[in-house]
Amino acid sequence: MENRPYVSADTMALFSASQRANGGRKRYRHGGATASIYLSEALGGRQVGTLVHTIGIKKGPVFFNSVPNQKAKTLGPIIKDYLPLHTPLMTDEGFPFLYQIYPNHRSVNHSARSKDIRYKWAKDRWSKNGVHNQVAEGFQRLLKTAFASYYYIRPENSTRYLNEFSFLKNAQVFGLDVLVGGDSGGCWKRNLFSVESGKPKAVGIREKKCLQ
């Protein structure tokens, strides 16, 4: 996979309920990052944080989506809407359902334990055999830095903020003429997964009819 474009996906909590103390989070109905965006039932059980799903490629486009949870029925349609089924896709261990959909899906286990009793965690839990999701994590760090100036955003407004940030980031990759005007042929003429395309700046994301 070296020097070849591939897609990386991950999910993170952009704004959470952690400042309300651990007792305020809904730990018993949700797990992982999802637990940090909901209040406990005693406090109303409503969503107060923002959970962001990230799909991106190194030095290429990135798409941020606000999601209510990390379930397969929530993330699956989003990923399938963006990516053709043959897409090389790398994630962490939180996307086991993708193996049934994407034959080129690979994942790395961030919770892998070391076989050496002297250590708790495996040294290859971040990257193993070239498989990692550091590209998506890098985009998420960029997003957190950009949103650091905001004290808080409401979950119901998060999609607008994330769409705007995605647009601005992707304008650097595609150019405004592509994002705003589109191409005359309805599909991009060069295959961005091809080695002959030079330095690929994007995944082969095109109109819906071109992904069939």
pLDDT of residue 183: 54
User: What is the mean predicted confidence (pLDDT) over 87-94?
Assistant: 91
Measure the CA–CA gap between 32 and 17, rounded to whole angstroms.
13
H/E run at residue 13: strand 7-15
Q: Where does the pLDDT of residue 127 fall: very low under 50, low under 70, confident under 90, or very high at 90 and above?
A: confident
Alpha carbon of residue 46 to chain centroid: 24
What does the pLDDT look like over 152-205, one tens digit per residue?
Answer: 888 999 999 999 999 999 998 888 777 777 554 444 444 444 444 444 444 444
The contacts of residue 12 (CB under 8 Å, 6+ apart) are 33, 51, 52, 54, 140, 144
Whether pLDDT at 46 is above 60: yes
Tokens representing 23 are: 């007792």
pTM across the whole model: 0.75
Tokens representing 27 are: 């730990």
For 163, which DSSP code?
H
Helix (H, G, I), strand (E, B) or coil at 57: strand
What are the residues facing 3 on neighbouring strands?
A: none
136 with 56: CB under 8 angstroms?
yes
146 with 164: CB under 8 angstroms?
no
The domain limits of the chain are 7-174
Q: Where does the pLDDT of residue 18 fall: very low under 50, low under 70, confident under 90, or very high at 90 and above?
A: low
User: What is the mean predicted confidence (pLDDT) over 93-116?
Assistant: 89
Tokens representing 200 are: 């690929």
User: What is the mean predicted confidence (pLDDT) over 144-155?
Assistant: 87
User: What is the mean predicted confidence (pLDDT) over 118-141?
Assistant: 88
Tokens representing 149 are: 């100036």
pLDDT of residue 190: 42
State the chain's mean pLDDT as an integer.
79
pLDDT of residue 49: 86
